[in-house]
Amino acid sequence: MIDVLNKYFKKCYNRWDIIIPIEDINNRSSGYISKSGWLIQYCFGVENEIEYFDFFSTHRMTDDNHIRIYENGETKSLPVFKIGYLVDCADPEPIKSQKLKEQGKEAVDKYNKEVAELLLNKGFNKFTINMTLNAGLIEE
């Protein structure tokens, strides 16, 4: 697992000199890294007898990442916050257009609350202001 994680993090985060602490890998300890504008939270687990490493990374200048890395090096994308939705603003019926906007916002808010719950259940309880807003934990 050490080689798999080092290879992945070297490929993606080498520019910021971000690596998972070796003692956390050896002990399979959850943790977080706050460095160079990044907040990366991580944990270990087992799925179908295959060990994995989950992490959620966020930076104000990029999209969030929520990735599962299996011990064999395979990766799987996991849910991240949505930041918007599409609405047909050219619709000539303003009432219908407003209803579509409200439905879109409700759907995104519901989805983002589910993502926040998923993260919290993993112990990823450090939220940036953008994550907090997207999760609907405070009103804009």
Phi-psi region of 102 (alpha: psi -120 to 50; beta: other; left: phi over 0): alpha
The yes-or-no verdict on residue 130 having pLDDT over 80 is no
pTM: 0.82
Q: What is the mean pLDDT of the chain?
A: 86
Q: How confident is the model at residue 33 (pLDDT cuts 50, 70, 90)?
A: very high
Tell me: the pLDDT tens digits for 52-86?
999 999 998 888 999 999 999 999 999 998 877 66
Rounded CA separation 40/57 (Å): 4
